[in-house]
C-alpha cells in the first residue's frame, strides 16, 4: 500500500497558492487515476489504484506545520511501510517548474516535511520537491502564500504533468529510476 501525500494549507484562501502545489499534484494524480476524495476530521483522502498499486491519496487538512499528524494517522490505519510514503511539497530553493525527487533525508527547513519526520519518527520516505522559486525581493511568507501569476501557469502545469509521470516511474520502476529520469530534466 502506498500513501501519497500532498502538502498544503486547507481552505479556499490558500487553494491556488504556491504553498499548495503539493495538493495540486495530488489533485492531478486523483484525476488521472479516477480517485475521489472523502473528508475525515484530519484530511481529505481517497483510496484506489495508482499505476497498478493500491494507494491512499492524502491532503492533510491541518496547516502545513502540523501535516505529520494526519500522515501518521493514515500510515497506521492502512499499515503503510515508511518507505511507501511519498510526500509532494513546494520548494522555494528550486526554480519555478523544476522537479526533484529524493529518496530520504532531512526536511531542508520545510515545516511540513519536518512535521512528517517527527510524527512517523523516520526520514526514510521518498519526496517530490516542486519548485516554486524565490521572490526577487520581499517576504518569503508572502510569496509562498500568494497565487501563481498568469505568466507562471504554463510552467506550473508542465511541472504537475511531469510530477504525475515521476510518480508513475517511481511506482513502476523504483525511486532510483525515477530520480535518474526526472532530476536532470527541467
Q: C-alpha grid cell for residue 141?
A: 511568507
* Owning domain of residue 117: 2-182
pLDDT at 43: 97
Among 166, 124, 147, residue whose Cα is nearest residue 9: 147
Query: Which residues, in sequence order, are CB contacts of 38 under 8 Å at separation 6+?
Result: 44, 45, 46
Q: For residues 186 and 176, what is the distance between their CA atoms, to the nearest angstrom?
A: 18
Active site residues: 19
Instruction: State pTM to two decimals.
Output: 0.95
Instruction: Tally DSSP H helices, then E strands, for the chain.
Output: 6, 7
Q: Which residue has the cell 498544503?
A: 8
Q: Does the structure show a pLDDT above 70 at 185?
A: no
The CA-based angle 58-44-96, given to 5 degrees, is 60
pLDDT (tens digit per residue) in 38-61: 999 999 999 999 999 999 999 999
Total structural domains within the chain: 1
Give the residue-averaged pLDDT of 106-131.
95
Q: For residues 31 and 172, what is the distance between their CA atoms, to the nearest angstrom?
A: 19
CATH code of 45's domain = 3.40.50.1470
How many percent of the chain have pLDDT more than 70? 99
Amino acid at each position: 500500500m502506498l500513501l501519497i501525500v500532498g502538502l498544503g494549507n486547507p481552505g479556499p484562501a490558500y487553494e491556488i497558492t504556491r504553498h499548495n502545489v503539493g495538493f495540486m499534484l495530488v489533485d492531478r494524480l486523483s484525476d488521472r487515476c479516477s480517485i475521489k476524495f472523502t473528508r475525515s476530521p484530519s484530511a481529505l483522502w481517497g483510496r484506489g489504484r495508482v499505476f497498478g498499486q493500491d494507494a491512499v491519496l492524502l491532503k492533510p487538512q491541518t496547516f502545513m506545520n502540523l501535516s505529520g499528524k494526519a500522515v501518521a494517522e493514515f500510515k497506521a490505519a492502512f499499515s503503510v511501510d515508511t518507505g511507501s510514503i511519498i510526500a509532494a511539497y513546494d520548494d522555494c530553493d528550486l526554480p519555478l517548474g523544476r522537479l526533484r525527487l529524493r529518496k530520504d533525508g532531512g526536511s531542508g527547513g520545510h515545516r511540513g516535511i519536518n512535521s512528517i519526520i517527527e510524527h512517523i519518527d523516520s526520514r526514510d520516505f521518498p519526496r517530490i520537491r516542486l519548485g516554486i522559486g524565490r521572490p526577487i525581493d520581499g517576504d518569503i511568507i508572502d510569496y509562498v502564500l500568494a497565487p501563481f501569476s498568469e505568466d507562471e501557469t504554463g510552467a506550473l502545469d508542465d511541472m504537475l504533468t511531469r510530477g504525475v509521470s515521476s510518480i508513475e516511474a517511481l511506482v513502476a520502476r523504483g525511486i532510483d529510476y525515477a530520480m535518474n529520469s526526472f532530476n536532470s530534466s527541467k
